[in-house]
Amino acid sequence: MNEQLQPLKKQPRAGKAGRSGTQDDIVYAHIFEAILEQRLAPGTKLSEEALGEIFGVSRTIIRRALSRLAHEGVVLLRPNRGAVVASPSVEEARQVFMARRLVERAITELAVQHATAEQIAELRQMVNDERDSFSRGDRGAGIRLSGEFHLKLAEAAKNAPLISFQRSLVSQTSLIIAQYESGNRSHCSYDEHTQLIDAIEKRDAELAVNLMMHHMDHIDSKLNLDEESASDDLHAVFSHLLQTKKPGRSPAKL
Amino acid sequence: MNEQLQPLKKQPRAGKAGRSGTQDDIVYAHIFEAILEQRLAPGTKLSEEALGEIFGVSRTIIRRALSRLAHEGVVLLRPNRGAVVASPSVEEARQVFMARRLVERAITELAVQHATAEQIAELRQMVNDERDSFSRGDRGAGIRLSGEFHLKLAEAAKNAPLISFQRSLVSQTSLIIAQYESGNRSHCSYDEHTQLIDAIEKRDAELAVNLMMHHMDHIDSKLNLDEESASDDLHAVFSHLLQTKKPGRSPAKL
DNA sequence: AACACTGCGATTGTACACAATGGTTGGTGC
DNA sequence: GCACCAACCATTGTGTACAATCGCAGTGTT
């Protein structure tokens, strides 16, 4: 708990454009990334003081980052009880996916109308990065980049509220995928992303929307939302013990 | 600037259950209300210290409230330059309305499926309150209650992400209405709200969605989004000068 | 006379100290 | 032996002091 990875505090400011929010963003991004890559498991307590020491900033900054993460639904902020990594329930996951279908359909239609050549090129680049990450076996980065692809698409739709909402949904989706993905396979097949870009470039709205909807189908068909995989709810975790009476073998330590 | 309306600070805390978020909520609600009722005009600077004195709390609380308002798009938070009441441009208003159509359609469909009798009763109550406000001539409260109606409807849809998004959209819509409404008439006719409730109660999804879409049409037809009424964007304000080549008459001093 | 630069004032950004809350643990009574 | 209660401790919530930043005004120069 005393190891302080990189002070990161005196490095910037005088450098160039003293963008004030930088520290917040760094902390935010690091925690977010750690959650997506499952270095922080759902339910993990996020102590303000501990994080402050780790990042070399005061609790004020940490608190803002946590607040932002909470607003996106990646972190749960319990009054007087601190923050924990969110562990979305199956029902919450379903709600997120329902909302995403809605938003992705609209975004796709708008992107077909408004996407510029430059944006399309950027999208292709992101798919490449995503593929690289997976081929490197970097699952966390893959999940993140896959999310960023959908976010980039939202930007092409040129609707600020939708972008903001999509950011929140994508964050939560990433967390859900990290939590529920049924193991091995690629979750967001980049093939589908590539096809989607092609359809957008051809300005074929109907095809693009169909592809996106199928893409959504594939995503949640790859999740086993019918069985909880891990949870903070002890009752749920040990429900099988309650059903079939079982010897007192000590489970892995909590 | 030195008048401190109601301290509201020593009243609670020791009293009973020190609900921690209460102060935040009070400040948030007051500022929000003031913006909707146009006691705070778009562009007004929201000094942390001044607000802190007014509400009798420290800047910490004010800052959180402003941050929340900023997240909802009602307040603009400029780094190192403080907060101002947002003044949505016509383009931003259009984006908000586009997003709202999307969300309201989905919410209506879901509400038809899930609304309980109790929720429907609550909705009817809200329409009554709304009507009362308008008949009292309390325009600000009317706008607010009208927004809360749509928010309540979102709750009936039972989808947490959608509720959260709707909250943000409704807030911004209220601000837009306060800014752009073409004068006299009721903006959200409660008749339409009543009809909508009836359709939901009859579980007639198609009718409900149609009513909602017409309702949306009426809302933005009542706004004069074609002509800016006031704006911070100098280019937009003087766009007519830029079109017709004009003599070097000095415009109002910049 | 217009432009650029520097110093000043005001306001926000950050850190820290203190207060309050909630969980936990140990003790006591039944 | 079990359950309830109370005090402790750890952690968060809040207020405030200090530092950094930005905008503006005054001054000097071209």
Cβ separation A161–B99 shorter than 8 A: yes
* Both tokens assigned to B248: 């070097």
How far apart are the C-alpha atoms of B25 and B38, rounded to whole Å?
Answer: 20
Residue A6 contacts by C-beta under 8 Å, 6 or more apart in sequence? A56
- Examine the pLDDT at A203 and tell me if it is beyond 90: yes
Mean per-residue pLDDT for A126-147?
87
Angstroms from B162 CA to nearest CA on chain A: 7
Report pLDDT for A20: 36
The bases of strand D with some atom under 7 A from any protein CB are 11-17, 20-23
With beta carbons less than 8 A apart as the criterion, state whether B140 and B181 touch: no
Min mean pLDDT across A87-96, B26-35, B131-140, B148-157 is at B131-140
Q: In which band, very low, low, confident or very high, does the pLDDT at A237 lie, cut at 50, 70 and 90?
A: very low
Q: What is the DSSP letter of A19?
A: -
Cβ separation A161–B80 shorter than 8 A: no
Nearest-nucleotide field for B79 (CA, C1'): C12
Match 């990290």 to its residue by tokens. Answer: A178
Our measurement of CA A115 to C1' D30, in angstroms, reads: 49
Report pLDDT for A11: 39
Percentage of chain B lying above the pLDDT 70 cut:
76
How far apart are the C-alpha atoms of B95 and A124, rounded to whole Å?
Answer: 26
Angstroms from A164 CA to nearest CA on chain B: 9
Mean per-residue pLDDT for A105-109?
97
- B102 versus A181: which is more confidently predicted? B102
Match 């709810």 to its residue by tokens. Answer: A233
Cβ separation A161–B165 shorter than 8 A: yes
Q: In which band, very low, low, confident or very high, does the pLDDT at B9 lie, cut at 50, 70 and 90?
A: very low
For residue range B81-103, list pLDDT tens digits in order: 999 999 888 889 999 999 999 99
Min mean pLDDT across A156-170, B52-66, B174-188, B194-208 is at B174-188
Report pLDDT for B234: 43
For residue range A8-50, list pLDDT tens digits in order: 433 333 333 333 347 788 899 999 888 877 788 888 999 999 9
- B153 versus A23: which is more confidently predicted? B153
A/B interface, count of CB pairs below 8 Å? 58
Mean per-residue pLDDT for B111-133?
94
- Examine the pLDDT at B56 and tell me if it is beyond 80: yes
Mean per-residue pLDDT over chain A, rounded: 80
The bases of strand C with some atom under 7 A from any protein CB are 11-17, 20-23
Q: Is the pTM of this model over 0.85?
A: no
B20: closest chain A residue by CA: A79
